[in-house]
Structure 1
Amino acid sequence: MWQAVPGLASLRAVHVERDRTTGVFTIESASFPLVAMAQSWLVGRGAAPERFTSLTPIGPADRETRRVETLLRETGPERFTVHDDYTYTTEPYDIWVIATDTRTDDPQLPVRVFHERRQVDDDTYTLREGRFPTVEAARTWTRDPDAPLPQPRTSPSARAAAAARGGTHAAPGTVVGTAPGPLAPRPSTAPATPPPRPARKATP
């Protein structure tokens, strides 16, 4: 949970494999910015998702946070190509990840930003996703992470499902299901130009 270089991912996933016949073991590890991404990496190496537990009092704030975490945990490296990530080690402890969705349901918005923010007062955190047309557009958003994240447009399959239920539109934020698999680890290199931490906007 700590990283000496500002901006680098501060979580470490560790996979230990024991060979009882030879009496030896091997260790493999990788760094990730988000817990769900680290869990996905472990799932790809045989971990059972339902066995994950948390020893920290900090938990997800709402259903949307759990939904996005499930999406990240159950998708593999063939879907998301991570371009950038940044972890702030000062309040409000923001984390953002920019990735291209190779199986997007909206080709005009193939890039996603996953944004986690700690709710210090009640020991929770929120995780949200937004859709962008390009990586550069996503990077522009990261200069002001208090700005709203662009939401996904309704996919044709979601519209068809809504029509079958008698509605005209699917619920906002509908996500197409994906096959489970691990996310590829990010290389442990410092960001070339760490972005400045913007001042938080006052809430009227």
Structure 2
Amino acid sequence: MLFDTTHVWNDIPGQSSVLAVHVERDLAAGVFEVDFTFQPLVAMAQRWLVERGADPAWFSDLVPITAADQETERVEDLLRAAGPDRFTVHDQYTYDAEPYDIWVIATDALASESDRPVRVFHEQRQVDADTYTLREGHFATIDDARVWTADPSSPLPRVSPSPSARAAAARSATAVTGSVVSAAPPLPPPGPSRRRAR
């Protein structure tokens, strides 16, 4: 993978700066073939290389900029293992100056929430610490996601837990004593929506 320093002079602002290059050599014939792609996020470039035979273990130690926390690593693992058909990218933008962040809008073909299939992946770089964070938010529509990208400093909609995580939480909230099962009381119905008007 390479960082394209010339992307700042592209005719269209915000274009991707991460370049993934795949070189396939035929030693017997003495020839080689080169393929490449620009991707907005490092994990997306890694996924493209994994699809072409790269070992994911090669990407475990990247320097000098490193993931700031476990949540960043989780989202990167998700993107890296997604395969070619899970996420369809609709929009993306790379800031080559302050705030040095990246956002990507994609539809998730395997979304567990049928009413919120759109994802925004947002990477923010902590320049002084040489680290970055990567977060995901869930949206109902691409237009909703585009509204959020107009102000990327606002909080991303929280990710709902997966069905297995919800089941595990329900099990842990249920106490079993002999044949008697006592569960936590049901939550009250949700109040009025607090969604901010845009």
Q: Which runs of 5+ in 1 are unaligned?
A: 170-204
CA distance in structure 1 between the aligned counterparts of 2:90 and 2:134, rounded to whole angstroms: 18
CA distance in structure 1 between the aligned counterparts of 2:162 and 2:64, rounded to whole angstroms: 37
CA distance in structure 2 between the aligned counterparts of 1:161 and 1:61, rounded to whole angstroms: 27
The equivalent of 1:202 in structure 2 is: none
| 8 Å contact kept, 1:92–1:119 | no
How many residues align structurally? 169
CA distance in structure 1 between the aligned counterparts of 2:60 and 2:141, rounded to whole angstroms: 36
Larger-gyration structure (1/2):
2
Aligned CA-pair RMSD: 1.7
Superposition TM-score, scaled by structure 2 size: 0.80
Shift of 1:54: 5.1
Shift of 1:44: 0.2
1:55 to 1:157, Cα distance in 2 relative to 1, 3 A: closer
Shift of 1:155: 3.8
Deviations along 1:33-85, whole A, 9 cap, x unmatched?
00000000000000000022656311111110111000000001211110000
Runs of 4+ in 1 over 6 A off after TM superposition: none
Task: Please give the residue correspondences for 1:1-204 in structure 2 after superposition, counting only pairs within 5 Å.
Answer: 1=3, 2=5, 3=7, 4-5=9-10, 6-52=13-59, 56-166=63-173
CA distance in structure 1 between the aligned counterparts of 2:173 and 2:60, rounded to whole angstroms: 40
1:42 alignment partner, SS class: helix
Query: Which segment drifts farther, 52-61 or 79-88?
Result: 52-61
Q: Name the structure with the higher helix share.
A: 2
Q: Which runs of 5+ in 2 are unaligned?
A: 175-182, 185-198
Superposition TM-score, scaled by structure 1 size: 0.78
Higher relative CO (Cα under 8 Å, sequence separation at least 6) belongs to 1
1:130 alignment partner, SS class: strand
CA distance in structure 1 between the aligned counterparts of 2:80 and 2:15, rounded to whole angstroms: 20
